[in-house]
Amino acid sequence: MSIEVWPFLISRNKTIGYRTITAPEFLIENKLSMLLAEVAGGELTEQGYAILREIHDSPVGNLTLIFRVTRAEKHFIGEKEEGILRDYNGRPIDWIEGVVFRGFMPEVVIPVNVFQKVHIEVEKWYCEFWKETTSLFNTKPSQSFSLEQNSYEDSKLIIKKEAPFILRKETPSVIPTLTEDIQISWENQQIINTKIPIKSLKLSSNKRHLVILYDNPDNEVHIYNLENYLHKNIKITVEEKLYNATAFAFDPRGEAIVFGLDYESISKTKANLLLWDIANFRTNPSPTKFFDEEREKTVVNAIAFDPTGKFIVTVSSNHGMQIWNVERRAIEYKTFDNIPFKCVAFHPNGRMVAAGNQNNSIYLHNLLSLENTSYSFYQQQSQGDNVRLKHNNNDHYHVQSVAFSPDGKMLASASTDKTICIWDVNSKNIIAVFEEHKNAVNSLAFSSDSQLLASGSSDKTIKIWNIKSRQVLSTLTGHKDIVCDVAFIPSSLNLISASKNQTVLIWESKNL
């Protein structure tokens, strides 16, 4: 009897934290490769032993992992010198290799030589990963092989079984096609209640982490494991705490996060930005630093990644807009000097940036991607680089938030003048103005199908707008203070929102 198995490897290199380097293709296609990094790990495995752990109720069915934890050695990357590989902080690097079975295999027999086959498969991908300096490495598909189930007598490994990893089954979220008469309601559930006022929140694209910036003297940032709540119904708790941040953004994959620092921290750390591998704060506490001496006194107000994750845009009150190259950890170029910006967003195609400023205007900056270089980078076009859009003619108000629709056709801007403008990206003309809020509008978020727009306001409400009908679909009134941020949970009409009254709510949508 033989069983098909797929090798996998979890490790890190000098700068990038622990991640799944190679995995079965069916896990990669379903965006589940990082699940292996959550399930496999632990203390070093004793000689002659292997660990068995089951995964229950995954989107691709039940799985069984057999793995061992050892140290990564220098000869794995072709070095002749013997010894253990270490990261930039001198810590030894763990090497977690194993196989994935489809289904449960409680009585499986694992021969001693199975890890030799696994090692040959995974080592080639690790050599490629070792050279990476950013979080852009894609998990590579592993080649399956047949594991014979014979009586290996004394040549089999002793199996230690760990508690299973159980995922709560989610009801698939189907986004309905909206018509003018469709009715949807939202019910809220409080998931966080702190003693600190909240300034902003961000949700990772993979729905694993929620990050909140608090409005206190330390500018605390708390990182929460949202996946525990969404998938396993585990109460959400603080996973990590950081301090002195002024703004932050997730990379497109939700695997890394970049923070802008306050002035005191910039002076101490000699860094304008810090980039962390978000899943590995405990094992990789040292961030990647970005610093520009000319911007030592620049405090970042807002940050956004481009869709590739290779570039970051930052805006500030005193030094306009900067485009940073992630690989070089340096500013590629600067524009709009001395314009005081409050918010920023990248267009989904990565070739336009929108920034809202403190005189009620939106500035559009066009970017040109040069594909004929060793790595794609951006430079200003020779003509028509910058366009200024007036939210209205009263310069005493501020544009608080800008958001592009996922289909790239619309730009939404929100102002302290209580209004929201919807712009046609191609013509740069206003196609709708929403005026139902009774106080400043602080945050905007499009649904993933571009049909709905959510707005959070200082009037303590969230409004859901039907873009097609230009009407309010629903007004949500669960918060007791200023709503400072809203976000749609990816691939659903469910929302998450934060308020100055120190609470975070999840809103679940229901068709009536």
What is the C-alpha separation between 425 and 23, in angstroms, rounded?
40
Chain Cα centroid distance, residue 427: 31
Phi, psi values for residue 421, rounded to 5°:
-110, 135
**Residue 110 has what pLDDT?**
86
What is the C-alpha separation between 476 and 292, in angstroms, rounded?
43
Measure Cα distances from 26 to 20, 102, 254, 351, 428 in Å.
Answer: 14, 10, 20, 32, 43
Say if CB 364 and CB 423 are below 8 A apart. no
> Among 409, 488, 489, which residue's Cα sits nearest to residue 456?
488
**pLDDT tens series, the chain, 512 aa:** 789 999 999 998 887 778 899 999 999 998 888 889 888 888 899 999 999 999 998 889 999 999 999 999 999 999 988 999 987 667 789 999 999 999 998 888 888 889 999 999 999 999 999 988 765 678 999 999 998 876 555 578 889 999 898 875 544 444 555 555 556 778 877 777 777 888 888 888 877 788 888 888 777 888 887 766 654 444 445 555 666 788 999 988 887 889 888 777 787 888 888 888 765 555 555 678 888 877 767 789 999 999 888 889 999 988 889 999 888 888 888 888 888 899 999 999 888 999 999 888 999 988 754 332 323 333 333 334 578 888 877 778 899 999 999 999 999 999 999 999 999 999 899 999 999 999 999 999 999 899 999 999 999 999 999 999 899 999 999 899 999 999 998 878 889 999 988 888 889 887 64
**Residue 172 has what pLDDT?**
45
For the chain, the domains span 2-166, 199-441
Q: Which helix (H) or strand (E) holds 378?
A: strand 377-380
Measure Cα distances from 400 to 273, 485, 496 in Å.
Answer: 22, 11, 18
Structure tokens that stand for 288 in this block? 């990647």
CB-based contacts of 511, cutoff 8 Å, min separation 6: 176, 182, 183, 184
Say if CB 433 and CB 449 are below 8 A apart. no
> Among 434, 480, 438, which residue's Cα sits nearest to residue 457?
438
In the numeric block, the tokens 């990082």 are attached to 34
User: At the topology level of CATH, where does 199-441 sit?
Assistant: Methylamine Dehydrogenase; Chain H (2.130.10)
**Residue 450 has what pLDDT?**
92
The radius of gyration of the chain's CA atoms, rounded to the nearest angstrom, is 25
In the numeric block, the tokens 């191609």 are attached to 426
Phi, psi values for residue 34, rounded to 5°:
-70, -15
The string over 287-315, giving b where at least 16 C-beta atoms fall within 10 Å of a residue's C-beta and e elsewhere, is bbebbbeebeebbbbbbbbbeebbbbbbb
CB-based contacts of 258, cutoff 8 Å, min separation 6: 248, 249, 251, 273, 274, 275, 276, 290, 303, 305, 312
Say if CB 363 and CB 386 are below 8 A apart. yes
Please name the residue ranges forming H helices in 131-284.
Answer: 226-232, 263-269
**Residue 20 has what pLDDT?**
92
Beta strands at 49-58 and 158-161: parallel, antiparallel or unpaired: parallel
Strand partners, 22: 9, 140
What is the C-alpha separation between 277 and 132, in angstroms, rounded?
13
What is the C-alpha separation between 150 and 159, in angstroms, rounded?
16
> Among 405, 399, 449, which residue's Cα sits nearest to residue 423?
405
Between CA 323 and CA 401, with CA 484 as vertex, the angle to 5 degrees is 40
